[in-house]
Each structure stands twice: as C-alpha cells, then as structure tokens.
Amino acid sequence: MLAEIITIGDEILIGQIVDTNSAWIARILNDNGVQIKQVTSVSDNKEHILEALEAASRRADLIIITGGLGPTKDDITKKTLAEYFGVGFRRDADALDNVKRIFAKSNRPLLAINEQQADVPENALVLQNQNGTAPGMWFNAGKQVYVSLPGVPFEMMYLIEEEVLPKVREHFELSAIVHHTILTAGLGESFLAEAIADIEDALPAHIHLAYLPKLGQVRLRLSAYGADKDALASEVQEHVLKIISRIPEYVIISEDIPLEVAALNLLQQKNLKLTVAESCSGGYLSHLFTQHSGASNVFLGGAVTYSNDLKQKVLNVQESTLMNHGAVSEETVIEMAAGANKNFGSDYAIAISGVAGPGGGTDEKPVGTVWVAVAGKKKTITHKYSFSGRRTQNIERSAINSIVLLLKLVREEHAYC
C-alpha cells in the first residue's frame, strides 16, 4: 500500500517554516506498514492544489493533505477539495459544537468566520479535532482515500494518532515493514559499498539496503517488506550480522540512534564521566551531548577556551607549548585534554583545536586543520584532520570525529564489543 503526503502553504515554499509535518507523518505511517511514495509541497493556489491531487491519485492509495484549513481567505484547501470532488458544503453539527467549546473555554467572542470552520464538503467524514477549531476530513473516493488535516503540528499529530490510523487499519490491508539501521563511522559511503558489495547483491528482492551518509558517518538501513513481521525481523537480522562481521572496526552500534547518544550510552554502561575542552568547535560538541535527555548522567561539562590565555588559566596548557607549537597542534590538545580531566574530575576528556575558517589559515596550517585529543585514565589518543569545507562544516566534522575517537578509546580501554 502506497501513500502520498501533500503539504500546502506558501510559507513552506519560501522557507519561512520547515515542513516537519511530512517527516513525522511518514515515520508514523511507515511504522504501521504504509510505504510513502512521494511527498509534495504546493502553494496556496487552487490550480496547483488540484494538479497535486490529480497526480497523487495516479500514484497512491492514501493521500494525506496538511495545511490550508484556517478561517482566513488564504486558507483554500476545503474549497479546493469540494471543487475536486464536485460537491457542495454542509455545516457539521459536531464540528460546530467543538468550535463553540473552544471559544467558550478561552472566553473569546465567536465570530461568523470561526463558525465557518464547521463547514465541510458534503462527502467528508469529519474527524473531530480536540486541539483546534479546524476539523480533519476523511474522503472515500473509489480506490483512493484522501485525508485533509490542519497544518498546526500538535493538531495534526492528535488527528493522525487518534482518528486517522485506526481508520487506515480498518480500510486497508497493511503489509509488514521492518527496518534495521547500522551506524558506521570512519569509512566513506563508496568504500563501504565496495566492502559489502557481495552481501548487498545477495539480498532477496523484498529486502533493500540504503546508504545514508552524514558528516563523518554512514547509516546502513536494511528495509524488509512482507506479511509476517517476526519472520522479516529474523531474516533482516541474519543480513545485519553478515554486514557487521564484514566491517566490525567501522560499526559504532547496530541501532538507529545518533552517534553522540551511542557514546553517552556506552559511558553510562561503564559508569564513566566525560568532559570537553573546546576551542574551534566553540561549544558545538557540548551541544551535541546536552541536547539529549539524560546526558547529565555522563557529561559533567567543560570549557570553551577560545583564547590562548584561557587555555593556560583553565586547562593548564603551558605557555611554552603554545609558543613552540601553537594552539593548533598535537601538543596543545594533549595538554587541553589532560587539564580537563584533572581540573573537572572526569574519566575521559575530549579536546579540539583547529582553524575553522574562513580566515586564520597559514601554509603550514590551512583552513580545515584540526587536532583532536581524547584522554582516558591510561592513554591519550590524537588525530590530525584536514577538512576542506566551510566554517560550519569544519566545526561539525571536528565534533563528530572527536566522538568517534572517544568511542574508539573507551572500547579499547574497557574491552567493549
């Protein structure tokens, strides 16, 4: 069974807002055995919407539309849907009661324009929106089902979970879909593909392998489609183990989680604490860790020592080290990491110093030169990176690669596998 998502709104097309709705809907539908054929974004224009609906009807069994259900003149989705189906409007009593309830609860006057929120195309099955005044609408149209939902995320999410999914399960015969993700780092996409080419070529037709590259890492996602979810999961696991056994040194974790979460989980399992000493990354590494709930179980904090003066005062970097080798050097990051462990009381510390750009580079240390050190209780490992991206990419790559080094050292020192 295939679905298409159509998002409506000029604000999406001009970049005023990011379309998070489609990603959320796609994930939820996929979890319930619905494959997404296409995601389409169109403007608040009747002709554009009609064209999108007609095209979607040739591709998908389920078409989900979000946006354009507000009370103002620029919200034209309902009128366009009525024209598309060739029907008039009716006022839904339950939807009107819902509008009245919401306005009474907030002690606001109810205008005629608000009452019109309860007007729906004659062929619509109303999906009551407990979180807003715009009802959702379900249309049975021959082979296709169309669902129109508000664009406000929390209203849309409520309707999908409470109204749409139960009806989808009743209306369609859904297949099973199983995904399994392997997080890798340290080997590029093309090299990974070459290393596991024979395994990929031997996959049965109902199992697909996708390469999902990101800065410093590649996710390998196996997706299987069939009738028996348990059997699919077992079959996928066999191929997962083959891939892991082929490239064990590059596998971070056999789970779809962010790289930094894998590091936090590992450190927590070993009851270890982490600090950071950042220079060119400017706190980005700390952000990666602290954006996740529970990071405080592992991450103590750290320092952004951008200047040489602070490197000396906060991290005990020797003035002679800075004079003789410079801030961007192996010697400096070693002392930064050691100072973080000693002064902040951690088991492991990551230190980063480099030339993020666009200025500041020299012939000896061009833009993109970054040194990283990770210090444990017994050993310190370092690596020099020569990135070539812009400032933001250099900062992100520095942080990501430092986490890979951290994982390498923790596993080595604690025999983690």
In a shared domain, residues 110 and 139: yes
Task: Give me the pLDDT at residue 416, please.
Answer: 46
Interatomic CA distance for residues 370 and 340, integer angstroms: 18
In a shared domain, residues 208 and 353: no
Q: Classify strands 299-304 and 348-354 as parallel, antiparallel or unpaired.
A: unpaired
What does the pLDDT profile of the chain (417 residues) look like in tens digits?
899 999 999 999 999 999 999 999 999 999 899 999 999 999 999 999 999 999 999 999 999 999 999 888 888 999 999 999 999 999 999 999 999 999 998 888 989 999 999 999 999 999 999 999 999 999 999 889 999 999 999 999 999 999 999 999 999 999 899 999 999 999 999 999 999 999 999 999 999 999 999 988 999 999 999 999 999 999 999 999 999 999 999 999 999 999 999 999 999 999 999 999 999 999 999 999 999 999 999 999 999 999 999 999 999 999 999 999 999 999 999 999 999 999 999 999 999 999 999 999 999 999 999 999 999 989 999 999 999 879 999 999 999 999 999 999 999 998 744
End residue of a domain, out of 171, 194, 227: 171
In a shared domain, residues 100 and 127: yes
End residue of a domain, out of 143, 171, 199: 171
Task: Give me the pLDDT at residue 415, please.
Answer: 73
Q: Which among 270, 308, 415, 408 is positioned nearest to 350, based on CA atoms?
A: 408
In a shared domain, residues 309 and 362: yes
CATH code, domain with 149: 3.40.980.10
Q: Which residues contact 180 (CB under 8 A, 6 or more apart)?
A: 221, 222, 233, 236, 237, 240, 254, 256
Please give the residue range of the domain that contains residue 326.
259-414
How many domains would you assign to the chain? Answer: 3
In a shared domain, residues 222 and 272: no
pTM: 0.80
In a shared domain, residues 397 and 272: yes
In a shared domain, residues 44 and 90: yes
Q: Which among 104, 55, 95, 48 is positioned nearest to 76, based on CA atoms?
A: 48
End residue of a domain, out of 199, 232, 253: 253
Task: Give me the pLDDT at residue 215, please.
Answer: 87
Task: Give me the pLDDT at residue 372, please.
Answer: 98
Identify the sign of the CA torsion 118, 124, 128, 129: negative
CATH code, domain with 229: 3.30.70.2860
In a shared domain, residues 23 and 68: yes
In a shared domain, residues 298 and 388: yes
